Amino acid sequence: PTVLGIEGTAWAASAALYDTETDEVSISSDAYQPDSGGLHPREAAEHMREAIPAVVEDVLDGADSIDAVAFSRGPGLGPCLRIAGTAARALALSLDVPLVGVNHMLAHAEIGRHRSGFDSPVCLNASGANAHVLAFRNGRYRVLGETMDTGIGNALDKFTRHVDWSHPGGPKIEHAARDGEYAELPYVVTGMDFSFSGIMSAAKEAVDSGTRIEDVCFSLQETTFAMLAEVAERALSLTSSTELVLGGGVGQNQRLRAMLGEMCEARGVDFFAPEARFLRDNAGMIAVLGAKMLAAGDTIAVADSRVDSGFRPDQVPVTWREETEV
Ligand code: ATP
């Protein structure tokens, strides 16, 4: 089958085609770039409205037939989700094919499992609005650890906004950190959960009181990524899993990948991070998980397909996986 994926949770208006026969994924995305500051939900929704038709047309160009339409039901910004959801319903109805409602965080996690061929990995999702450590057990992805306040990417973006760097801030922090040295910042892991807001306040105070910005960027990466690695390592230990996959836009960061790679190597665990186009928000991951759900008969009636901006990964009964012992 061929599945059309639609992604529109925040900044990326994205469409993709996934062909299960060839395992090929083609993605067309249009990013919303704020003129100033961070993401403005209304502007992001306006961008979604303008950009979705063209990205859909782009991937449908030359497609023979579509067997289902999969879309992100949440979590994300309500106004964006509603526009992308409306587009997905209209397409499913006009093409007369089933509709599949995908949890965006599970798509971030599943794309790494799909591309790696791993059986039962621990998944670290390091995205803009979220940070989760997930593992599959008894029919659900369990949230073993998560942020107690902001997502990791949004935290980094808040710091760069403070120093007037344009959105998104993560790549700029990565660049500046290359010339940095360690400056102390608080490290906050409580049990299996982490918090980023105190670190961001301390980082802002540090630059305001004259610490070199390169040093603050270096320490921001070292501190927040070590927190993620610590919880991921504990999750590997708790589940006895021998596989870790990375997901989410912050997963594009080379320092985070290197730290996780080292930790896994020291534990004798296999580590996989998908290529960049599958890490940042993209409809490819929605189409791939959508195809697995379709194969399991896990489709949704249009009448029941309302979006959910607070949709948690552990709310989803996992229909597309066999239970495997970890
Ligand atoms: P979510 O998937 O939780 O809804 P999101 O929609 O904001 O989040 P993603 O595309 O997963 O999106 O991630 C975007 C985030 O990734 C931004 O906060 C951005 O700063 C961050 N990011 C992108 N590249 C890098 C990098 N090289 N280093 C660190 N952070 C990065």
pLDDT band at 324 (very low <50, low <70, confident <90, very high): low
Please check whether residue 165 lies inside any domain of the structure: yes
Please check whether residue 64 lies inside any domain of the structure: yes
Q: What CATH number has the domain bearing residue 158?
A: 3.30.420.40
Best residue among 280, 282, 309, 312 to mutate for probing ligand 1's pocket (most ligand atoms within 8 Å of CB) is 280
Q: Give the burial string for 88-101 (b: 16+ CB within 10 Å, else e).
A: bbebbeeeebbbbb
The tens digit of pLDDT for each residue in 97-151 reads 999 999 999 999 999 999 999 999 999 999 999 999 999 999 999 999 999 999 9
Q: Do 272 and 295 belong together in one domain?
A: no
Q: Do 182 and 61 belong together in one domain?
A: no
Q: Which domain holds residue 141?
A: 120-276
Mean pLDDT computed over 285-302: 98
- Pairing label, strands 12-19, 24-31: antiparallel
Q: Do 272 and 286 belong together in one domain?
A: no
Any atom of ligand 1 within 6 Å of the Cβ of 170: yes
Mean pLDDT computed over 237-241: 97
Task: Kindly tell me the sign of the dihedral angle through the C-alpha atoms of 87, 17, 248, 319.
Answer: positive
Alpha-carbon Rg for the chain, nearest whole angstrom, is: 19
Q: What is the percent of the chain where pLDDT is above 70?
A: 99
Q: For the packed helices 254-267 and 170-177, what is the interaxial angle rounded to 10 degrees? A: 70
Say whether pLDDT at 86 is over 60. yes
pLDDT of 287: 98
Please check whether residue 59 lies inside any domain of the structure: yes
The ligand 1 atom nearest the CA atom of 39: 7
The tens digit of pLDDT for each residue in 190-208 reads 999 999 999 999 999 999 9
Q: Do 255 and 175 belong together in one domain?
A: yes
pLDDT of 144: 98
Cα(121)–Cα(61) distance, integer angstroms: 36
pLDDT of 323: 75
Cα(12)–Cα(320) distance, integer angstroms: 26
Q: Do 47 and 153 belong together in one domain?
A: no
Q: How many angstroms from the chain centroid is the CA of residue 88?
A: 20
Q: What is the percent of the chain where pLDDT is above 90?
A: 95
Any atom of ligand 1 within 6 Å of the Cβ of 313: no
Q: Do 155 and 210 belong together in one domain?
A: yes
Domain total of the chain: 2
Q: Do 226 and 284 belong together in one domain?
A: no
Token pair of 263 as six digits: 């930790």
Task: Kindly tell me the sign of the dihedral angle through the C-alpha atoms of 177, 179, 185, 187.
Answer: positive
Token pair of 112 as six digits: 């790494």
Q: Do 253 and 295 belong together in one domain?
A: no
Ligand 1 mean position, distance from CA 201 (Å):
20
The tens digit of pLDDT for each residue in 260-291 reads 999 999 999 999 999 999 999 999 999 999 99
Please check whether residue 89 lies inside any domain of the structure: yes
Q: Do 70 and 217 belong together in one domain?
A: no
Q: What is the number of other CB atoms lying within 10 angstroms of the CB of residue 165?
A: 17
Dihedrals φ, ψ of 260, to 5°? -65, -40
Please check whether residue 20 lies inside any domain of the structure: yes
The tens digit of pLDDT for each residue in 19-58 reads 999 999 999 999 999 888 888 999 999 999 999 999 999 9
Q: Do 181 and 271 belong together in one domain?
A: yes
Contact predicate 68/1, CB 8 Å:
yes
The alpha helices in the chain, defined as continuous H runs, are 41-60, 78-95, 104-116, 152-162, 170-177, 197-208, 213-239, 254-267, 276-279, 283-295
Q: Specify the residue with its C-alpha closest to ligand 1, atom 15.
A: 128
Q: What is the number of other CB atoms lying within 10 angstroms of the CB of residue 115?
A: 18
